[in-house]
Amino acid sequence: MDLTGGYNPRRARLLIELKTENLYHIPAVCNQCENAYCMNVCPSKAIQRNDDGIVCIDPDKCISCGLCAQFCPIGMVTLDPDTQKAVKCELCQGEPLCVEVCPTFALELVYRGNINE
């Protein structure tokens, strides 16, 4: 909501895949991969890792080619239907809105050591 100005889970930066008649619910969040395919395939160098290890997209450099979305192994990069720019979870500058708003406290932000180490 705060990110996009409205509600639609398809615009969320994480997803829950429902499988086998809803018996299994498999969550997917961006892994900020050490070897990030989205970053590797970007022809305009719009995708860079920041000092905190988060893979971020610069919308000014993004040329909307969609290669990042195509090669993300878990569907975590998408093209915004309004702007046609690539978007992904960048952890909201360290204070993820999804964690803040989750009514059941199912989400939390945890650090598993430094990715550059």
Partner 1 sequence: MSSAYTNKLLMIDLSRESFETLPVSNDLKKDFIGGKGFGAKLLYDMVLPETDPLGKDNVLMFMTGPLTGTMAPAMRGCVVTKSPLTGIFLDSYFGGSFAPEIKYAGYDGLIIKGQAKKPVYIWINDDTVEIRDAWHLWGTDTLKANEQIKTELNDDTIKIASIGQAGENQVLFALVCCEYNRQAGRGGAGAVMGSKNLKAIAIKGSKLVSIHDPKRFTKACATAFKELEASPDVEAFRVAGTAASVDFANETGLLPHKNYQNGTFSKASKLADKGQARHLWLGSAACMGCPIRCSKIGAIRSGKYKGTITDIIEYESAALMGSNLDISDIRAVAHLTKLCDLYGMDSMSCGNLIGFAMEACEKGVIPSPQGISLCFGNIDAAEYLVHAIANRTGELGMLLSKGVKQASEEIGITAIDLAVHAKGLESPAWGPRGVSGMGLAYMTTDRGGCHQRGFTVTYELSGEWKGAPLDPLSPKGKARMVIALQNYSAGRDTLVNCDFGSYGISDDTYAELLSAATGQKTDPATLVETGERIWNLVRCFNLAQGLDPKKDTLAPRFVNEPLPDGPSKGHRISAEDMDYMRQEYYQLRGWDKKGIPLDKRLNQLRIAYAGHHK
Which residues would be at the binding site for partner 1 (CB under 8 A)? 1-2, 4-11, 17-18, 20-23, 25, 81, 101, 103-104
Q: Within a 10 A sphere around the Cβ of 113, how many other Cβ atoms?
A: 7
SS3 (DSSP) at 79: strand
E strand or H helix at 40: helix 37-41
- Report, in Å, the least distance between residue 61 CB and partner 1: 24
CB of 64 to partner 1, least distance (A): 16
Q: Which amino acid is at 87?
A: V
3-state secondary structure of 109: coil
Nearer to partner 1 among residue 61 and residue 73 (C-beta): 73
The distance of closest approach from Cβ of residue 21 to partner 1 in the complex, given in angstroms and rounded to an integer, is 5
Between 2 and 60, name the residue whose CB sits nearer to partner 1.
Answer: 2
Round to whole Å and give the CA distance between 71 and 47.
Answer: 13
- Count the alpha carbons within 13 Å of 115 in the hemisphere toward its beta carbon: 15
Q: Which is nearer to partner 1, 23 or 110 (CB)?
A: 23
Of residues 21 and 117, the one with the C-beta less far from partner 1:
21
Looking up tokens 């919308």 gives 59
Minimal distance, residue 83 CB to partner 1, in Å: 12
